[in-house]
């Protein structure tokens, strides 16, 4: 791939962080998809704490305001749908709203979980339980979830091309 093509194709494998693809581009060549995923993971691992916070803050809430307005990225829309977050009961939606806000108020970034590997109940449980962690723990766990989301987005691109 040409440089611009690589950057375009992988621009959103980390939500709204197109500069990740520009940086990973420099690590070419890759032997296979798993090597490519490892390069994006390395990019995430090598970010400063401030950089990691920016990555976490780029993610939309699960079942949040952007979702309600239909303003999520296409990737996030599909991920949230796959977990059933577009079909919450009124009670589940209220639980999500309350816990998302409580989490953001404590940590200063949104609760992040790989929606495609979860269902409504495990997301709500995660939201409740992870609230008790320290900020350092949640930065680590959040970045680890971003890696899972990133891997699945890369595999979608590679499988469909």
Q: Which chain residues interact with ligand 3AL by CB under 6 A?
A: 15, 59-62, 76, 79, 110-116, 149
CB of 84 to ligand 3AL, least distance (A): 12
> Using CA atoms, how far apart are residues 147 and 45, in angstroms rounded to an integer?
10
> Using CA atoms, how far apart are residues 150 and 19, in angstroms rounded to an integer?
14
CB of 35 to ligand 3AL, least distance (A): 23
C-alpha distances out from residue 126 to 93, 123, 147, Å: 15, 5, 17
**For ligand 3AL, which is the closer residue by CB, 76 or 151?**
76
Q: Considering 59, 130, 147, 153, which one is annotated as catalytic?
A: 59
CB of 86 to ligand 3AL, least distance (A): 13
> Using CA atoms, how far apart are residues 15 and 31, in angstroms rounded to an integer?
24
Tell me whether residue 41 is one of the annotated catalytic residues.
no
CB neighbours of residue 71 within 10 Å: 11
**For ligand 3AL, which is the closer residue by CB, 25 or 77?**
77
Q: Report the catalytic residues.
A: 59
């Amino acid at each position: 791939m040409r440089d611009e093509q690589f950057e375009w194709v992988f621009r959103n494998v980390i939500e709204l962080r197109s500069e990740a693809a520009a940086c990973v581009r420099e690590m070419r060549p890759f032997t296979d998809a798993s090597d490519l995923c490892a390069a994006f993971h390395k990019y995430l691992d090598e970010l400063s704490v401030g950089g990691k916070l920016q990555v976490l803050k780029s993610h939309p809430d699960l079942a949040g305001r952007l979702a309600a307005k239909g303003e999520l990225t296409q990737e996030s829309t599909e991920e949230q749908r796959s977990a059933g977050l577009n079909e919450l009961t009124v009670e589940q939606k209220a639980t999500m709203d309350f816990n998302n806000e409580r989490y953001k108020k404590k940590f200063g970034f949104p609760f992040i979980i790989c929606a495609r590997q979860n269902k409504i109940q495990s997301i709500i449980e995660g939201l409740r339980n992870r609230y008790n962690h320290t900020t350092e723990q949640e930065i680590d766990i959040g970045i680890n979830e971003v890696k899972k989301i990133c891997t699945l987005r890369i595999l979608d691109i590679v499988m469909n091309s």
